[in-house]
Amino acid sequence: MGRADKVVLAYSGGVDTTVCIPYLKNEWGVKEVITLAADLGQGDELEPIKEKALKCGASESLVADATESFVKDYAFPAIQANTLYENRYPLSTALARPLIAKLLVEAAEKYGADAVAHGCTAKGNDQVRFDLGIMALNPNLKVLAPAREWNMSREEAISYGEQFGLEFPVKKSSPYSIDRNLLGRSIEAGILEDPMTEPPEEIYLMTKAIADTPDEPEYITIGFEGGLPTTINGEKLDPVALITQLNETVGKHGIGRIDMLENRVVGIKSREIYEAPALLVLIHAHRDLESLTLTGDVTQYKRGIEQSYGELIYQGLWYSPLKAALDGFIQQTQERVSGEVRIKLFKGNATIVGRQSDNSIYAPDLATYGADDKFDHKAAEGFIYIWGLPTKVWSQKTRGM
């Protein structure tokens, strides 16, 4: 008896997921492996990947064009929630996992598979996100993770595959572990494992080194409707085009790099480098527009929600009841978050220099120090008397005055 009969395997075309095909069949007695490659705007040609899977023994090789859903259904809610894990990482890799889990489950249900599989190892966050996502969407499916158990080095995995006639063209393999999609790149391992070592310039692809950025600032205006970005410099763009264009525009000013030590779900600290130019600037701009359109108490309360929201995305709980409940709060706050934010891009900085909204609750006649001031100055004294009363009584008592 094998571990499963028919498996849908998340497939990237890389060494690990390719070796998973013969491994599932020969070691774990799986009768049929269907591969699924998801296009999330990572820029890989998926046709050769599709063919490769069939050559390596897959009975069916599926390709899912999921970039639009990735942006609309996963990235956009995260922008509305201003999510930055540990105040820095905009979750560009993490957001892709629940979507891939959903695609795997849908394919498994369509093809009558009894299991889904992925190529994650035992030390990362992604295994948690896949397993939990799959579990939440279809608790009856088994989840197989060969690379979590096989204990093979990369070389051993390659030799294992070669036994079954798999070919691994000797391309100079990267010394890093890299994950990429439309939202960004995550780079770890190799010399980056030493937290004191500066990342070499060669690891970056979406962002320019400051030395190579323009010597003149560039101004852009991002428009939002209901908390979602819709325009750049007044031009209406569909979600994928908007992210694509913004990545290019801000990346060339060297904006969007993060070098951080983060706390993984499995308890390990790891050093990760990220590039996520568009996503970071959109969160920055969105949060600013909220400061113009939301009341102070909602904004403050939302900060706590945002923190929880970011943590649960990082920790694989996208399809959890807590996430759904927080969505209720976040969506309720977004309707009036419409308007424009003006940003100056220069030498690695995206500085917000202006914002406007038809829903602005900034009241110039209250804020002004000029002659047309409408603020009731007499009200301040009484307000402060009452506001400070508990503190005053406390002070009288404790100081004996």
Looking at residues 64 to 103 of the shown chain, list those that interact with ligand ARG (rule: CB under 6 A): 93-94
| Torsion angle of the four alpha carbons 11, 12, 16, 22, in this order, in degrees rounded to the nearest 10 | 40
Which residue lies nearer to ligand ARG by CB, 186 or 207? Answer: 186
Query: Phi first, then psi: what are they for 143, rounded to 5°?
Result: -115, 120
Does 203 bind ligand ARG (CB under 6 A)? Our answer is no
Residue reference for tokens 């980056």: 192
Which residue lies nearer to ligand ARG by CB, 47 or 193? Answer: 193
**Smallest separation, CB 179 to ligand ARG (Å):** 4
Query: Phi first, then psi: what are they for 294, rounded to 5°?
Result: -110, 155
Which residue lies nearer to ligand ARG by CB, 27 or 259? Answer: 259
Cα distances from 39 to residues 46, 119, 186, 380, in angstroms, run 7, 17, 17, 59
Q: Supply 370's token pair.
A: 């000029």
Catalytic residue among 3, 44, 177, 327: 177
* Coil, strand or helix at 70: helix
Q: What angle is formed at CA 73 by the lines to CA 70 and CA 76, rounded to 5 degrees?
A: 90
**Smallest separation, CB 147 to ligand ARG (Å):** 13
CA dihedral sign of residues 133, 136, 137, 143: positive
Does 127 bind ligand ARG (CB under 6 A)? Our answer is no
Residues in the chain: 401
C-alpha 162/C-alpha 30 separation (Å) is: 19
**Smallest separation, CB 180 to ligand ARG (Å):** 9
**Smallest separation, CB 127 to ligand ARG (Å):** 10
Which range touches ligand ARG (CB under 6 A), out of 141-149, 171-179, 241-249, 279-287?
A: 171-179
Number of residues that bind ligand ARG (CB under 6 A): 11
Helix axes 277-293, 239-251, angle to 10 degrees: 110
Which range touches ligand ARG (CB under 6 A), out of 4-12, 36-44, 184-192, 289-297?
A: 184-192
Does 177 bind ligand ARG (CB under 6 A)? Our answer is yes
Does 38 bind ligand ARG (CB under 6 A)? Our answer is no
Does 244 bind ligand ARG (CB under 6 A)? Our answer is no
What residue spans of 112-206 are helical by DSSP H? 126-137, 146-149, 154-163
Residue reference for tokens 């406390």: 394
Is residue 141 a contact partner of residue 116, using CB atoms and an 8 Å limit?
A: yes
Which residue lies nearer to ligand ARG by CB, 125 or 293? Answer: 125
Which residue lies nearer to ligand ARG by CB, 35 or 186? Answer: 186
SS3 assignment for 44-56 = CCHHHHHHHHHHC
**Smallest separation, CB 314 to ligand ARG (Å):** 7
Task: Identify whether 399 is a catalytic site residue.
Answer: no
Give strand pairing partners of 36. Answer: 10, 62
Q: Give residue 57's Cα distance to chain centre.
A: 32
Does 260 bind ligand ARG (CB under 6 A)? Our answer is no
Radius of gyration of the chain (CA): 25
Which residue lies nearer to ligand ARG by CB, 126 or 288? Answer: 126
Inter-residue long-range contacts of 363-371, CB under 8 Å, 24+ positions, other chains counted: none
| Torsion angle of the four alpha carbons 77, 80, 82, 85, in this order, in degrees rounded to the nearest 10 | -10
Which residue lies nearer to ligand ARG by CB, 17 or 334? Answer: 17
Catalytic residue among 97, 129, 185, 257: 97
- 50's CB contacts (< 8 A; 6+ apart) are 37, 61, 62, 63
Looking at residues 265 to 304 of the shown chain, list those that interact with ligand ARG (rule: CB under 6 A): 272
Catalytic residue among 12, 39, 126, 186: 126
Site string for ligand ARG, 302-341 (x = CB under 6 A): ----------------------------------------
Does 178 bind ligand ARG (CB under 6 A)? Our answer is yes
Among 16, 39, 188, 306, the residue binding ligand ARG under the rule CB under 6 A is 188
Task: Identify whether 16 is a catalytic site residue.
Answer: yes
Which range touches ligand ARG (CB under 6 A), out of 42-50, 175-183, 191-199, 251-259?
A: 175-183
Which residue lies nearer to ligand ARG by CB, 179 or 306? Answer: 179
Which residues have a catalytic role annotated?
16, 97, 126, 177
- Interacting residues toward ligand ARG by CB under 6 A: 93-94, 125-126, 177-179, 186-188, 272
